[in-house]
Amino acid sequence: MAVDLAYTSLTELGRLLDARKVSPVEIVRAALERIERYNGRLAGYITVCGEAALAAARRAEQEITGGGGRRTRLHGLPIAHKDISLTKGVRTTAHSRCLIEHVPDRDATHVRRLAEAGMIMLGKTNTTEFACGTMDLFGIARNPWELSRYTGGSSAGSASALAAGMAPAATGSDTGGSIRVPASFCGIVGLKPTYGRVSRYGLIPLSWSMDHVGPMARTVADCALLLNTMAGHDPLDPTSARTPVPDFTDGLDAGVRGMVLGVPKQHFYERLEPEVDAAARAALRHLEGEGARLEPVDLPLVGHIAGPGGILIMAEAYGLHARQLRERAADYGDRTRRRIASGACYTSGEYEAATRVRVAWTRQAARALERVDAIVTPTLPHAAFTVEVQKAGEPPDTSWGTRHFNLSGHPALTLPCGFTAAGLPIGMQLAGRYFDETTLFRIAHAYERSTPWHGRRPAVGEAVS
Amino acid sequence: MNGGADQIRAELARQGIAVTDDDLAMITTIVAANRAALARVPAGAVEDPEVSHGFLPPAPPAEPPAVPADDAAPHAGR
């Protein structure tokens, strides 16, 4: 058939399955062929579950064609999981020598829910070590738009796999921007949901108060579809919320007419690379053209979050890793070991002071979001930098625009809003009210359907004719 | 701990974490940067914590106590 299955959206693949125009086996094969062709140069996957995925696809095909049809909108569709989510019987390394032979005896809750919905796991995607270090052991994930460029971290392999057509859906985790940063660098869509919206049970933790699990995909609608299944209360995660889960795909087409979008006065539109600045302002004008009203919002603390955020994340990470650092320091990568060990050096007074800044910032953001439907920002002040820059010393602070909403717990989504002249993606971030992911999806979908960016394809290192 | 490299090495050693000189250099840089950033948060931007049961610490004395510092220490047992 003429459809390029590797770049067909999850939603459209579902329609094709419903119409019996394609089978789960064909969809999985298309992804595996891309993995076979490109994973060597991209290092998007740490572990590929080819045979198991094909066997699961054959079972799904029998279930679907056996008279029952698809039992959910995700049934028969493939997904890749970040290698920091526990997967029963499948090695889960967190890209660390500490866990090199770690085969869990259980699934993370989000992995289990997606599997119960009928999704087929393609494999485990690359991540920075324990979601905060480097990618030394299995190689550094490469950006399909330009192989010399970094993907961003830590959900690096998920973003790379999606952009390269090696998966139509993926999961990620986000402690300071680890879904949104690689999604922005690789030109795909990623959502950090509200804190408590998606269970973290079975996620190898970094920072208990800032870790989030969320969906990554090539379209907004696909992220909404995945969140439908990932979200919901989980008694195994004490921070999981009991808030009802709507159908996040409802109202996607409602547009932004009459909506009020907040544009921060501070930080987010300062000192941007010129091409990012132009793309971000063009995106604002586009949303205005679609009927939204732009409203400046005052966020005086927004430029003062990096230090307190760093203290809180690393103090919590050290709390989790202290024993292992004492016993197996040499099994950590240098940067991972040093970053986590830094968390041992703060006093309780500093942790308390950082927490007060966090509380004040959270109130500030929540007050702003009482007046606007969402806050719109660039996701990063620049496009993807090179792998060499990432490897050298301390690379640029990629959490520049994202960690704010880990500290506050608000949901935040990134989607492509343009490309640089060199062909690198630029991302726009939307942050919304607690448990109002629906509004973020609606705004993002209105932007996506009226712009061409999500339709572009990377060359993945091959000559473009 | 005021964050000097020697103090950080000592604190890490106290907690059983052995570090190389390169480790120490990077850890010291990270800690110093985060502390400096925390110190730059504008005064007044962060509210005092709300204490649910109404207790507030007594205000400090307007003048320093008229006793030598050692004698004023809580353990002096005067």
Q: What is the pLDDT of residues A29-85, one digit of tens each?
A: 999 999 999 999 999 999 999 999 999 999 999 999 988 899 999 999 999 999 999
**pLDDT-based confidence at residue B49 (cuts at 50, 70, 90):** low
Report how far residue A150's alpha carbon sits from residue A345's, in angstroms, rounded to the nearest whole number: 30
Say if residue B59's pLDDT is above 80.
no
What residues have CB less than 8 Å from B44, skipping those under 6 apart?
A: none
A207: alpha, beta or left, given left = phi > 0 and alpha = psi -120 to 50?
A: beta
Between chain A and chain B, the number of residue pairs with CB atoms below 8 A apart is 95
Please give the distance of CA A64 from its chain centroid, rounded to a whole number.
Answer: 30
Cβ(A90)–Cβ(A49) under 8 Å? yes
Q: Is the Cβ pair B30, A360 closer than 8 Å?
A: no
User: What's residue A308's pLDDT?
Assistant: 97
Per this entry, what is the length of chain B? 78
Q: How confident is the model at residue A312 (pLDDT cuts 50, 70, 90)?
A: very high
Residue A332 has pLDDT above 70, yes or no: yes
- For chain A, percent of residues with pLDDT exceeding 70: 99
Q: Which of A291-295, A358-362, B64-68 has the lowest mean pLDDT?
A: B64-68
For residue A295, give the 3-state DSSP assignment: strand
CA distance A357 to chain B (A): 6
What number of other Cβ atoms are within 10 A of residue B72's Cβ? Answer: 12
A302, closest residue in chain B (CA to CA): B41
Write down the ipTM of this complex. 0.92
| Residue of chain A minimizing CA distance to B37 | A307
Chain A residue with the nearest C-alpha to that of B13: A326
- How far apart CA A13 and CA A167 sit, in angstroms, is 12
Q: Residue A88 has what pLDDT?
A: 98
- Determine whether the interchain pair B38/A307 forms a contact, defined as Cβ–Cβ distance below 8 Å: yes
Per-residue pLDDT tens digits for A388-417: 999 987 789 999 999 999 999 999 999 999
What would the mean pLDDT of A333-353 be, rounded to a whole number? Answer: 96
At A465, the pLDDT band (50, 70, 90 cuts) reads very low
What are the sequence ranges of the domains in chain B? Answer: 5-39
pLDDT tens across A428-459, in order? 999 999 999 999 999 999 999 999 999 999 99
Burial degree of B6 (CB within 10 A; 0-12, 13-18, 19+): exposed
Chain A partners within 8 Å of B37 (Cβ): 304, 306-308, 310
The answer to whether A387 and A395 are in contact (CB under 8 A) is no
> Please, which pLDDT band fits residue B64 given cuts at 50, 70 and 90?
low
Of A325, A345, A359, the CB nearest to B8: A345
pLDDT the model gives residue B43: 82
- As a whole number of angstroms, the distance between CA A165 and CA A159 comes to 10
DSSP A422-446: TS-EEEEEEEESTT-HHHHHHHHHH
The SS3 call for residue A326 is helix
pLDDT exceeds 80 at position B67: no
**What pLDDT was estimated at residue A392?**
86
Which of B23, B38, B46 lies nearest to residue A311, judging by beta carbons?
B38
CA distance A92 to A130: 11
Question: What's the confidence (pLDDT) of residue B78?
Answer: 37
Domains defined along chain A, listed by start: 5-455 (3.90.1300.10)
Contact B23 A337 (CB under 8 A): yes
> Is the CB of B30 less than 8 angstroms away from the CB of A314?
yes
DSSP string, A141-202: -EETTEEEEE--SSSHHHHHHHHTTS-SEEEEEESSSTTHHHHHHHT-EEEE--TTTB--TT
Q: Report CB contact under 8 Å: A341, B19.
A: yes
